[in-house]
């Protein structure tokens, strides 16, 4: 694929060098088009050496090849990172006073802008209006990250990490092989109240489920994400309908409502198997000398097993997750096989927890089993990569069903 990487004159320009490497390592041809100001931050030799391509900034620099038209026309993807407030303004106004803005005017492929600037500039009504104009024209404008800015200040305006920009950019040009499919994903961990301030919960962050929802949306599916206590920063961006829930009962109701018209349900949430038999209306008090009162638990419905036993829509593929640890009774896979047979879901994604992989913001490694407990796929890598492997496995189930019935 041919990628044009525009770089503008923000301090974060150096991060574009990492982004360039990511694109190159993924096998893409990259033409870097910096603005003059960007060259004051990172020089031309760096861009030429890392891209292996010539680097020009002006519309008249390579007049015999009419570069200012050719680059935009031949690109499969244009990414500008960092995009300064000035670049957003020039793009919104349709100016073509250097090679980058001329390329933006001639590009017919997806365009992603990754803004980076001080919070005041990002929030200024002029910038807000420019971003709205660009988005209205179909340009993808990432929201900047929040955190440390150039000086001692912090706030919204930081360039997102190169890996995030690369994932968002490549998602714009990927196969939309889930187009026309409706899917439901549950993520996070349920909380079962003990009293108004306390609950029984678990450590699930919802990152894997959010990645599964984001991957499905990027591949063209209409996605409902039922999010149990998932932090806002973890939730995927546009294109996903998020239904926030807290308890298992709420999660069950939301999943079943959305599943009634879904082609696939992926239960990535960590759902509490038990809940307190009764939640106290008032905060439970510590009575001196009395010791703790026992907590009586009752079993929650198994949402996954229910869906697997009685699907809510014809041909619906139901996927479960199993976070396992090995023990004396068997290794992770043996426990997974037993669970696959017991739950009856079409697919069970088994991952090992308690080591360096699993919960939290760490890479994941999974084995996907079918309902007989046979391995249909293995995947390791980022949560986004695991998410894609899960959807590939779901596509495999749909394909087999079509082959059998067709
Ligand atoms: O049995 P275990 O809790 O390990 O099974 C995990 C899988 O079952 C996950 O997909 C989880 O979302 C689902 N589950 C459920 N309802 C429960 C417990 C787990 O749907 N009450």
Please provide the distance, in angstroms rounded to a whole number, between the alpha carbons at the two ends of the chain.
Answer: 35
Are 385 and 311 in a shared domain?
A: yes
Distance CA 33, CA 8 (A): 9
Are 129 and 243 in a shared domain?
A: no
Asked whether residue 177 is domain-assigned, the answer is no
pLDDT score, position 358: 53
Q: Cβ(388) to ligand 1 under 6 A?
A: no
Asked whether residue 281 is domain-assigned, the answer is no
Residues in the chain: 406
Are 392 and 244 in a shared domain?
A: yes
Are 375 and 321 in a shared domain?
A: yes
Give me the phi and psi of 2, to 5 degrees please.
-100, 120
The total of structural domains in the chain comes to 2
Asked whether residue 133 is domain-assigned, the answer is yes
Nearest CA to ligand 1 atom 17: 302
From 14, 391, 402, select the one nearest 178 (Cα to Cα). 391
Q: Cβ(304) to ligand 1 under 6 A?
A: yes
Give me the phi and psi of 266, to 5 degrees please.
-115, 115
CATH of the domain at 32: 3.40.50.1950
Asked whether residue 163 is domain-assigned, the answer is yes
74 Rama class: left (phi>0) / alpha (psi -120 to 50) / beta:
alpha
Cβ count near 150 (within 10 Å) = 13
Please answer whether residues 144 and 127 qualify as being in contact, where contact means their C-beta atoms are separated by less than 8 angstroms: no
Residues whose CB falls within 8 Å of the CB of residue 173, separated by 6 or more in sequence, listed in order: 1, 76, 77, 109, 110
Asked whether residue 165 is domain-assigned, the answer is yes
CATH of the domain at 242: 3.40.50.10300
Q: Which residues are catalytic?
A: 202
Nearest CA to ligand 1 atom 13: 304
- In the reported structure, the alpha carbon of residue 266 is separated from the centroid of ligand 1 by a whole-number distance in angstroms of 11
Q: Cβ(7) to ligand 1 under 6 A?
A: no
pLDDT score, position 234: 86
Are 95 and 204 in a shared domain?
A: no
Q: Give, for ligand 1, the residue of 251, 303, 366 to mutate: max count of ligand atoms closer than 8 Å to Cβ.
A: 303
Are 22 and 135 in a shared domain?
A: yes
The ligand 1 atom nearest the CA atom of 319? 10
Spans of the chain below 50 pLDDT = none
Are 154 and 200 in a shared domain?
A: no
Please answer whether residues 40 and 115 qualify as being in contact, where contact means their C-beta atoms are separated by less than 8 angstroms: no
Instruction: Judge residue 394's burial from the number of C-beta atoms within 10 Å of its C-beta, 0-12 exposed, 13-18 middle, 19 or more buried.
Output: buried
- In the reported structure, the alpha carbon of residue 370 is separated from the centroid of ligand 1 by a whole-number distance in angstroms of 16
- In the reported structure, the alpha carbon of residue 274 is separated from the centroid of ligand 1 by a whole-number distance in angstroms of 11
Which of 171, 196, 216 delimits the end of a domain? Answer: 171
Q: Write 25-30 long-range contacts (CB < 8 A, 24+).
A: 26/166, 26/170, 28/1, 28/2, 28/3, 29/1, 29/2, 29/3, 29/53, 30/3, 30/4, 30/5
Please answer whether residues 332 and 176 qualify as being in contact, where contact means their C-beta atoms are separated by less than 8 angstroms: no
- In the reported structure, the alpha carbon of residue 250 is separated from the centroid of ligand 1 by a whole-number distance in angstroms of 15
Are 252 and 370 in a shared domain?
A: yes
Q: Cβ(307) to ligand 1 under 6 A?
A: no
Distance CA 248, CA 277 (A): 13
Per-residue pLDDT tens over the stretch 259-315: 999 999 999 999 999 999 999 999 999 888 888 889 999 999 999 999 999 999 999
Asked whether residue 283 is domain-assigned, the answer is no
Are 89 and 53 in a shared domain?
A: yes
Q: Cβ(267) to ligand 1 under 6 A?
A: yes
Residue 125 Cα to chain centre, angstroms: 29
Please answer whether residues 45 and 75 qualify as being in contact, where contact means their C-beta atoms are separated by less than 8 angstroms: no
Which of 171, 192, 218 delimits the end of a domain? Answer: 171
Asked whether residue 279 is domain-assigned, the answer is no
Distance CA 330, CA 298 (A): 27
Q: Cβ(320) to ligand 1 under 6 A?
A: yes
Distance CA 327, CA 321 (A): 19
Structural domain span for residue 164: 2-171
Stated as kind and residue range, the H or E segment containing 259 is helix 248-259
Q: Cβ(271) to ligand 1 under 6 A?
A: yes
Cβ count near 222 (within 10 Å) = 19
Nearest CA to ligand 1 atom 16: 302
Are 94 and 237 in a shared domain?
A: no
The ligand 1 atom nearest the CA atom of 339? 1
User: Tokens standing for 236?
Assistant: 């995927």
Which of 117, 139, 171 delimits the end of a domain? Answer: 171
pLDDT score, position 315: 94
Distance CA 403, CA 406 (A): 5
Are 204 and 310 in a shared domain?
A: yes
Are 89 and 133 in a shared domain?
A: yes
User: Using omega within 30 degrees of 0 as the cis cutoff, is the peptide bond preceding 82 cis?
Assistant: yes
Helix, strand or coil, per DSSP, at residue 365: strand
Distance CA 240, CA 243 (A): 10
From 66, 68, 61, 67, select the one nearest 39 (Cα to Cα). 61
Asked whether residue 375 is domain-assigned, the answer is yes
Please answer whether residues 248 and 206 qualify as being in contact, where contact means their C-beta atoms are separated by less than 8 angstroms: no
Say which residue the tokens 């803005």 belong to. 101
């Amino acid at each position: 694929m041919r990628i044009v990487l525009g770089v503008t004159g923000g301090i974060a320009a150096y991060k574009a060098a990492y982004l360039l490497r990511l694109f190159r390592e993924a096998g893409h041809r990259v033409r870097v088009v910096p603005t003059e100001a960007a060259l004051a931050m990172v020089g031309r030799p760096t861009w030429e050496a890392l891209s292996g391509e010539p680097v020009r900034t002006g519309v008249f620099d390579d007049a015999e090849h009419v570069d200012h038209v050719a680059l935009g026309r031949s690109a499969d993807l244009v990414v500008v990172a960092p995009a300064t407030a000035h670049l957003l303004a020039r793009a919104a106004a349709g100016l073509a006073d250097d090679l980058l803005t001329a390329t933006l005017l001639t590009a017919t492929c997806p365009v992603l802008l990754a803004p980076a600037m001080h919070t005041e500039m990002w929030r200024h009504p002029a910038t807000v209006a420019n971003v709205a104009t660009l988005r209205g024209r179909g340009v993808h404008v990432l929201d900047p990250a929040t955190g440390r800015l150039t000086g001692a200040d912090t706030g919204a305006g930081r360039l997102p990490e190169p890996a995030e920009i690369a994932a968002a950019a490549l998602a714009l040009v990927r196969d939309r092989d889930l187009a026309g499919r409706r899917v439901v994903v549950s993520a996070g961990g349920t909380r079962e109240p003990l009293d108004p301030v306390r609950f029984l919960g678990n450590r699930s962050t919802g990152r894997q489920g959010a990645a599964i929802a984001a991957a499905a949306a990027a591949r063209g599916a209409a996605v409902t994400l039922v999010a149990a206590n998932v932090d806002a920063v973890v939730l995927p961006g546009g294109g996903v309908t998020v239904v926030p829930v807290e308890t298992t009962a709420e999660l069950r109701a939301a999943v079943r409502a959305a599943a009634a018209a879904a082609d696939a349900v992926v239960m990535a949430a960590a759902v509490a198997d038990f809940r307190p038999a009764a939640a106290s209306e008032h905060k439970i008090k510590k009575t001196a000398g009395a010791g703790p009162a026992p907590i009586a638990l009752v079993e929650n419905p198994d949402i996954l097993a229910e869906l697997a036993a009685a699907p809510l829509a014809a041909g619906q593929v139901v996927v479960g997750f199993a976070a396992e640890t090995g023990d004396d009774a068997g290794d992770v896979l043996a426990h997974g096989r037993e669970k696959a047979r017991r739950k009856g879901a079409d697919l069970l994604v088994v991952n090992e927890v308690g080591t360096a992989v699993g919960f939290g913001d760490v890479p994941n490694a999974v084995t996907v089993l079918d309902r007989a407990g046979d391995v249909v796929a293995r995947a390791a890598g980022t949560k986004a990569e695991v998410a894609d492997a899960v959807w590939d496995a779901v596509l495999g189930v749909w394909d087999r069903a079509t082959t059998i019935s067709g």
